[in-house]
Chains A and B, each alone.
Chain A
Amino acid sequence: MTCVAAVGDIHLDRDLAGHLRPALETAATQADLLLVAGDLTRHGTVDEAEVVAAELAGLAIPVVAVLGNHDYHSDQQDAVRDVLERAGIVVLEGETFATNVDGVTVGVAGAKGFGVGFAGRCASDFGEPEMKAFTRHAKAAAHSLHNALDNLDADVRIVMTHYAPVEDTLRGEPPEIWPFLGSYLLAEAADAVGADLYIHGHAHAGTEHGMTAGGISVRNVAQPVLCRPYALYRVGDEATAAAS
Chain B
Amino acid sequence: MDSGVNPDANPATDIYLAKEIEGAIADDERTAELGVAVDVRAGRVFLRGKVSTVQRKDAVTGVAREHAPEREIVNEIHVEDPGAGASPTTAEEQIR
Contacts and interface: CB of A to CB of B under 8 A. Distances in A.
Interface of A: 3, 10-11, 15-16, 19-23, 26-27, 29-30, 42-43, 70, 73, 196-197, 204-205, 217, 223-224, 227-235
A218 to B, nearest CB: 10
B52 A11 contact: yes
Interface of A is mostly: mixed
Interface of B is mostly: loop
A30 B83 contact: no
Contacts of B93: 231-234
Contacts of B81: 19
B56 A15 contact: yes
B3 to A, nearest CB: 32
17 contacts: A16-B53, A19-B81, A23-B83, A26-B88, A30-B90, A43-B29, A204-B34, A204-B50, A217-B95, A223-B82, A224-B35, A228-B86, A229-B83, A229-B86, A230-B86, A232-B93, A235-B95
Interface of B: 29, 32, 34-35, 50, 52-53, 55-56, 80-88, 90-96
Contact of A233 (B32, B52, B92): B92
Contacts of B86: 22-23, 26-27, 228-230
Contacts of B34: 204
A68 B86 CA distance: 24
A227 B32 CA distance: 20
